Amino acid sequence: MTRRQFEALVDRALRRLPRKFKDKLANIAVVVEAWPEDATLAELGIEPPDTLYGLYRGVDLTRRDSSYGNVLPDTVTIYQGPIEEDCVDEEEMAELVRETVVHELGHYFGLDDETMERIEDPDA
């Protein structure tokens, strides 16, 4: 899949977010990169065969106060290579992109991984 086609999957995932969440997005950039850098994986303690589909970097909404301002945008990075590698077709890729975008934006809204897992699977 070309970068442009993959970026279209990311754009579609963003467009399909519920309006009540889209309206709260501010000072955030969503970007596509081919693969996570080795330094990023090491920083996060991720070793093969594990990989990273996406990454949020920034100050989540729950930690912003009146002194927050004049800062570079937070970033959500979606990694094309690992997603392509783990999916069998474009439909599966689109679903994994959607899940990854939603997950990383969950961090923007202040949710940690454990909380998101409980939300996704309340019986776990």
Express each pLDDT in 43-99 by its tens digit.
Answer: 999 998 899 999 999 999 888 888 888 889 999 999 999 999 999 999 999 999 999
**Average pLDDT of the chain to the nearest whole number:** 91
When pLDDT is cut at 50, 70 and 90, the band that residue 119 belongs to is: low
DSSP run (H or E) holding 90 = helix 90-108
- Whole-structure pTM value: 0.89
CATH class assigned to 3-64+72-120: alpha beta
What 8-state DSSP symbol labels residue 63? G
Does the structure show a pLDDT above 80 at 124? no
Q: What are the residue ranges of helices labelled H in the chain?
A: 3-15, 19-22, 38-43, 80-86, 90-108, 113-120
Average pLDDT, integer, range 5-20: 95
